[in-house]
Structure 1
Amino acid sequence: MSSPQTTPSPPATASPLYKTMHATAIEFIESQTLDPTQPTRMSTSRIRAIRSPNFTHSWGHNYHVSITPPLRGTLSVDDFIAHLESMTPRLESWDTIITDMIVDEAKLSVVVRASYHMHAKGAEEKVENDLVWFLDMEQGGKRVQKGMEFIDAMAGARLRELMQGGGGKG
């Protein structure tokens, strides 16, 4: 099964707020794009720019989080960047495709589904981590103030195994 290669567009009849929130959600996801010109291979200024200064990040599903200590708690934007920077040295590359998006203007909320195709250094296979993000926007929809990330636990486990050098078939 192949995923669409284009980011979903807002409806032609979308309001200005809808279009702003849609664009903000896309930039939120794309702010984490591989950038080989940066020392950490990610633009931390781009990551910060789309998030409010009081941004918080957390993970779901509740049971998965309860048995995975690194996913417990809430991260600030600085903590989130540190989390990403702890992974990037072990990744050869990563590509992201936004596959679906739901914008709720009344709640200033966007749900984004995205596939992260991650290639651990030294591994032959790429792992598709199918994520769902719940994003709460600031008034006006121009920045994200809260993100909750739902990861594919099996893909995360496989990626962790590959990043630790366990590149066997599995």
Structure 2
Amino acid sequence: MTSSRPTARSPLYSHLLSLAQSHATPSSFSEILSIRSPSAIHSWGHNHLVSLYRPTLGEKMDNATFEQHLRTTTPYLDWQGARPSQVHSITIDEWERRAVVHMSYWLKAALPRKGTTSTSTTGSSSSSDSNSKAEESKDEDGTAPTEVKIEAVEQDLIWVLAFTDEDEIDQIKIKESVEFIDAAASSSVGRTIRDIHGGVGEDVRGGITLTGC
């Protein structure tokens, strides 16, 4: 019995796969924005989780808001100290022009940068117990001591991507992204971030805003 599996990838399949791979593990903010259509929308799942955590997860984001989300979240995470992201599988549906990406991000809370102060959810210096703990753990120069051990947490999540309808394959971009969050992992990292920084800014969106999951 002969296999029905295609012997070669079609140009459309290859392009959609490349877009999905770049979206999952971008090298920069500019790369991830360059592969999204001007009218692209980002949103979150799962629905019940989103309903509990509006507006930090409930709002759909245009590209400008999505970029702001990336930039406001990044200072709280230590990407250099965590393991590289890993893509487990990518499933491409050429007919529907959709992709499903199963992957893991290893999220590690970042220590405060020298010269910065912890930020509460109101955007001001926090007097909470968690902020006091962070302050007590700092060296005399205001930075946290190097012996502080922070574990990276695996966030095992799913991206669902939809692509635009252009006939020219090289013109196709991402028109919609839905991120199905690993709520327990995100909540764990968020808890560590709040212990270190005393909170997160009011403009921060995404999984690190979750509590009690």
Give your verdict on TM over 0.5.
yes
Q: Which residue is 2:77 aligned to?
A: 91
SS in 1 for 2:38: strand
- Equivalent of 2:107 in 99, 118, 126: 118
Amino acid across the alignment from 2:104: S
Q: In 2, Cα distance between the equivalents of 1:126 and 1:44?
A: 22
- Structure 1: which amino acid aligns with 2:29? T
Q: Which secondary structure does the structure 2 equivalent of 1:154 belong to?
A: helix
1:51 matched to 2:36 = yes
Alignment-derived partner of residue 3 in structure 1: none
C-alpha displacement of 1:53: 0.5
After TM superposition, the runs of 4+ consecutive aligned structure 1 residues lying more than 3 A away are: none
Q: Which runs of 5+ in 1 are unaligned?
A: 1-10, 34-42
2:53 maps to 1:68 = yes
SS at match of 2:108: strand
What's 1:160 paired with?
190
Task: Give me the CA root mean square deviation.
Answer: 1.9
In the comparison of the two structures, how many residue pairs are matched?
147
Structure with higher Rg: it is 2
87-96 or 56-65: bigger deviation: 87-96
Match of 1:5 in 2: none
Greater strand share, 1 or 2? 1
Residue 150 of structure 1 corresponds to 180
Q: State TM-score, norm by structure 2.
A: 0.65
User: 1:111-138, CA deviations, whole angstroms, 9 ceiling, x for partnerless residues?
Assistant: 0011001111145100111110110011
Aligned-partner residue type, residue 42 of structure 2: H
Give me the whole-angstrom Cα distance separating, in 1, the residues matched to 2:151 and 2:62. Answer: 32
**Residue in structure 1 matched with residue 143 of structure 2 by the alignment:** none
CA offsets 1:89-111 (integer angstroms, 9 cap, x no match):
11111531111111000000000
Question: Which range moves more in the overlay, 137-146 or 51-60?
Answer: 137-146
Q: 1:20 to 1:12 in 2, by over 3 A?
A: farther
Q: What is the identity, as a one-letter code, of the residue corresponding to 1:14?
A: R
SS of equivalent residue, structure 1 residue 53: strand
Which runs of 5 or more residues in structure 2 are unaligned?
1-5, 112-148, 197-213
> What secondary structure sits across from 1:164 in the alignment?
helix
One of 18, 22, 41 as aligned partner of 1:27: 22
State the TM-score, normalized to the length of structure 1. 0.80
**1:23/1:165 CA distance change after superposition, 3 Å:** same
